[in-house]
Amino acid sequence: MNKYLRIGIIGGYGWKNIGDDIQLYNNVRVLKERGYNNLFIFSPHDYIAKLCKVDKVYPSFHNVLKLKDREKIPLLIDRALMIYYKTLNYGKRRVSLSPEEKKFIDVINNIDVLFVSGSGTINTRTLYGLLITIIPCIIAQNLGKKVVLSGQGMLPLNNFVWESLISYTLNKCEKIFIRDFELGKKGLQRINVQMSKIILGIDDAFTTIPKKNEKFKIAPNTVTINVSQFLKPEKYGTFHSLAKRLKKAGYNPLFNYFQTDKKVAEACSKGKFPIYECGHFAEMVGLYYDVVGSIGMRYHSAIFGLAGNHPVVNIYISEYQKGKVRAIRESTKLPYFMIDMKNCTSKSLFDMFEKAMKAQPKVLEEINKEWRKRANLAVKYLDKL
């Protein structure tokens, strides 16, 4: 292990996106615990410095490409590739770059390893998401730096042109630790990524150390319901009725929300059921350790629930989310785990949850036993560099 290794970390892409942030937070925490202190975090958001307890964050590729221009994909592609080509001979071409571009690339030029923390952007779902992750990787590779990917979701892959760029970049990486199990592995195999570079890991949020929310007392037999901003207003009543069914069955329903979902939680509660407020996402993880079961719309509500070792029902609302939770189900064979939002009524959700409460506990023991072994494998891999 080289504790003096200079590690650049890309992550925390979303604005207070609890999934992105908690993966980054967890990786930085474990890196520090293992003695790595020369950390350079790239993020477009200043709050990440306080979150990860570092002095500062460095401008990310977001800052170079400008978030406000994210809809102008053809222009962003041209600019991103132009920056990439100039790093092929950075010593001579540096003078032709803008101050923002120089600032970003100079930090990469000063590190030994580029560590990409989660964020699930190395796929063909959105070209903007792909650009802000894959281009920094090949820039780092141009500059002779090693690249390690941690907790990455690699699906969907359904665009030949961008699959070629992904394959090219991943084949130049040291190791790729993916969170979508065999499903992701098959996708990468199809686009000719070297399988020797692929390690099946878990989402880096899984091993977050929980802490209590001292201001909020969790009642016995609580079931938490996670709702998202993507829930249509005509479905608010479905979740309110679900809470009533749970209450009648002897549970204590509790709504929780991530980032921008508070208004939806309030609309579903209608002032009749409590809503969980957390000051730090480790408190959110703590909630999932305290409840007896969870029903959720967010991918990370499923991750937290599985880490909390209680029965989980996850509601998917898009093909993208379906792919993520399907990867978990195929790997774990967890019964009564996922349901299409289109099929959700208060009765269907309640009935599925009751079945999950009976059928999942034995499988959950195996999930926790196996998944803990895969915790933060990318960080541990750095010890070999």
* pLDDT, tens digit (0-9, with 9 covering 90-100), for 219-253: 999 999 999 999 999 999 999 999 999 999 999 99
Rounded Cα gap, residues 166 and 162, in angstroms: 6
Q: What are the Cα distances from residue 301, in Å, to 162, 267, 268, 341, 364?
A: 30, 19, 17, 15, 15
Phi/psi region, residue 151 (left: phi>0; alpha: psi -120 to 50; beta: rest), is left
Class of domain 7-205: alpha beta
Rounded Cα gap, residues 160 and 213, in angstroms: 47
pLDDT value at 371 more than 60? yes
Contacts of 79 (CB under 8 A, 6+ apart): 65
pLDDT confidence of residue 331: 92
Q: Are 109 and 93 in contact (CB under 8 A)?
A: no
In this prediction, residue 44 has a pLDDT band, given cuts at 50, 70 and 90, of confident
Residue 7 three-state SS: strand
What is the chain's alpha carbon radius of gyration, rounded to the nearest angstrom? 21
pLDDT confidence of residue 16: 67
Tokens of 325: 């939770």
pLDDT confidence of residue 67: 57
Q: Is the peptide bond before 361 cis (omega within 30 degrees of 0)?
A: no
pLDDT confidence of residue 260: 83
Among 300, 259, 262, smallest CA distance to 153 is for 300
**Main-chain dihedrals φ then ψ at residue 115, nearest 5 degrees:** -115, 115
The 146-152 sheet, strands edge to edge: 39-42, 7-10, 113-117, 146-152, 175-178, 198-200
Residue 269 DSSP symbol: H
Q: What is the pTM of this model?
A: 0.92
Superfamily of domain 222-371 in the CATH hierarchy: Glycogen Phosphorylase B; (3.40.50.2000)
Mean pLDDT of 311-334: 94
Please tell me the total number of residues recorded for the chain in this structure. 385
Locate CATH 3.40.50.2000 in the chain: 7-205, 222-371
Of 46 and 355, which is predicted with more confidence?
A: 355
Cα dihedral: 196, 10, 227, 361 (round 10): 40
